[in-house]
Structure 1
Amino acid sequence: MSDQTTDRTTGAAATPPLSCYIRTKNEAGRIGEVVRAALACADEVVVVDSGSTDDTVALAEAAGARVVSVPWRGNGGQKRAGEELCRNDWLLDLDADEIVSDELAAEIRALFAAGPPARPVYELTLVTVPPTGEVWSTFVLAHRRKLYDRRVVRMPDHPAWDQLELGRGAAVGRLGGPVYHHSFRDFEHVVAKLNRISTVRARETRPRSRAELAARVLFALPFYFLKHLVQRQLWRAGVYGVALAGISAFGRWLRDVKMYEALRMADPPGPRRR
């Protein structure tokens, strides 16, 4: 595997020795665009498909990806499968609704131009693209560690958690170009995603105590709403943003509710009165 990432003819930054992996299941709507954008900064795109029944596989292959069928191993486990399928040690982790911007692609090529990057992990900025209106380029931003050297850190092989974890004080770089995140198609899609995520997180998270969970069920919902509305600045999207803040808060609260119900269901029933 060569570290040479500069075109000797033009002197321009060439495609670096970087592999991108993408988890999919029925992502035909955007997968072609996602793959083509990733190939602007990676010399390999691996699509890890867990049983698509639409045109995901055909569209990904037509866009230049190598598609491998892998039965679902959980959120983190599926990413670990992607890591193992890549030929390069430097990896880019993308979801099937995340599109690398031209600015970020150029930044990644420049990062590799002088050889291996100085740091083993880099954070990227996710910019939400709502289904209606302008791109939310200055609020609801998320920073995720998505560009990394698998010889230093790996994705957790976990059914729920799928983010890189590093020790405190670890050297993490940050790139400025955006990843455009088409995170939802409409509010119905948001509700379905939050319902699914809350089920997985509730199953895999251990509460500190039943009393704490009960307190969250009773009192936490308004605080979750304010976090999305004020801290994430969804108020800047007007009525649409306020509605999304409410739905997002409910999704977070739903995790608490499901955890609380699971504890109750685990208790043996008391004696019946005659």
Structure 2
Amino acid sequence: MIRLSALVCVQNQDAMLAECLRKLSFCDEVVVVADRCTDRSQEIARRNGCIVLDGIFPLESQRKAAGAEACTGDWVLEVEPDELIDAHLAWEIRAVLQMRPDGDHYDLPIDNYLGDTLIRDGWAGPLSARRETRLYRRGLKTWTPARLDAPATLEGRSGGALKGAVRRMLGADLSGLLARLDRRTSLAAEDLADRAGQPAAIVAVAKGAATFLSAYLMRGGWREGRMGVVTAALQGLFPVMAQIRARDVIEARTAAAAAESARIARLRERRFAAR
């Protein structure tokens, strides 16, 4: 029998966690990485019989790597705390693994829901995706350091995509989607601030316009009617908001560093005067 581990990384996201974990009962083990959680995430995970890793993981890549290291299964299935694996997809995953899989990793389609409404088309990446590589042999996936959407490197051969889709809940309504945009632009701003340089404002605006057009026209957002316009517009705002917030992060870091330098200088002066 091929053993399957599920990996769930959570940061104060206990709203759907219990249901998410219940849907993973078809896995041989579930590893939950709780990053600085102050809600009920750890309690919920332990109550559902999960292996829980408590810690401080500033980067998404660190959480993923720590969780993957703790997994003992032959294969790893990555699931976010706002996602559900239905019975059909669970059966498909198990069937693929038991019938001598052709590949070393597989993509899983993602169905994005806002409340009870499925928004199938128009996703360009900043807020969600249409499919991601979530099922892979343990030890074949590594992540580049990043706070948001850490780029991954996969060894081995792709087996293509499964037919069943992960059900991702983006929020109960539009305010939930806006909250998602706020959280993700905040993390993206930290990543931008870590880099040596930032894109100019005009570059961020151009990227935002290109993202909007890609989401609405090339990726079929127009098929979703009014919600297609809204989601494409929010995705277009993402690079602009991230760049603006990155400037604020850099200014705050500079001010904090200056204050720390001044504090150290005052301490040295006091020590010198006391001699």
TM-score where L is the length of structure 2: 0.76
Residue equivalent to 1:252: 239
Q: Match for residue 129 of structure 1? A: 113
User: Contact 2:208/2:235 (CA < 8 Å) preserved in 1?
Assistant: no
Partners in 1 of 2:246 and 2:36 — Cα distance? 29
Instruction: Verify the 8 A CA contact 1:216 1:256 in the aligned structure 2.
Output: no
Kindly provide the CA deviation profile for residues 210-259 of structure 1, in whole angstroms up to 9, marking residues without a partner as x.
7x624324544433322222233233232233222222211232224445
* Match in the other structure for 2:3: 17
Stretch deviating more after TM superposition (52-61 or 175-184): 52-61
Kept in 1, the 8 Å contact 2:110–2:166? The answer is yes
SS of the residue corresponding to residue 20 of structure 1 reads strand
2:14 aligns with one of 23, 28, 33? 28
**Deviation (angstroms), 1:156:** 3.5
Q: Is the 8 A contact 2:114 2:174 kept in 1?
A: no
CA RMSD of aligned residues (A): 3.0
Structure 1 ranges of 4+ moved more than 6 A:
206-210, 260-267
2:132 maps to 1:144: yes
> Where does residue 262 of structure 2 map in the other structure?
none
1:21 is paired with a residue whose SS is: strand
Partner of 1:118: 102
* Cα separation, 1, equivalents of 2:136 and 2:209: 37
**Structure with a larger share of its residues in helix:** 2
Q: 2:77 aligns with which of 92, 95, 98?
A: 92
Q: Contact (CA 8 Å) 1:191, 1:251: kept in 2 or not? A: no
> Is 1:75 the counterpart of 2:37 in the alignment?
no
Shift in Å at residue 127 of structure 1? Answer: 0.8
Number of residue pairs the alignment of both structures matches: 247
CA offset at residue 22 of structure 1?
A: 0.5
Superposition map of 1:194-205 within 5 A:
194-205=181-192
Report which stretch shifted further, 137-146 or 223-232: 137-146
Show the 5 A alignment for 1:155-194: 155-166=143-154, 171-173=157-159, 174-194=161-181
- For residues 127 and 158 of structure 1, the distance between their equivalents in structure 2, rounded to whole angstroms, comes to 25
Shift of 1:35: 0.9
Indicate how the Cα distance of structure 1 residues 208 and 232 shifts in structure 2: closer, same or farther if over 3 A, else same.
Answer: farther
1:260–1:69 Cα change, 3 Å: closer
Identify the residue that residue 270 of structure 1 maps to in structure 2.
none
The one-letter code of the counterpart of 1:64 is G
Q: Deviations over 1:103-159 (max 9, x none)?
A: 2211111112234x33221111111011143x2346646111111123333233544
Whole-Å Cα distance in 2 between the matches of residues 217 and 87 of structure 1?
42
Point out the more displaced range, 53-62 or 241-250: 53-62
Distance 1:28 1:263 in 2: 31
Number of the residue aligned with 2:44: 59
- Contact 2:5–2:76 under 8 Å retained in 1: yes
Structure 2 spans left out of the alignment, 5+ residues: 124-128, 255-275
CA shift in 2, pair 1:200/1:53, >3 Å: closer
Mark the CA change 1:230 to 1:47 in structure 2 (over 3 Å): closer, same or farther.
same
Verify: 1:224 aligned to 2:208, yes or no. no
Cα distance in structure 2, aligned partners of 1:238 and 1:17: 43
**Contact 2:208-2:237 within 8 A present in 1 as well:** yes
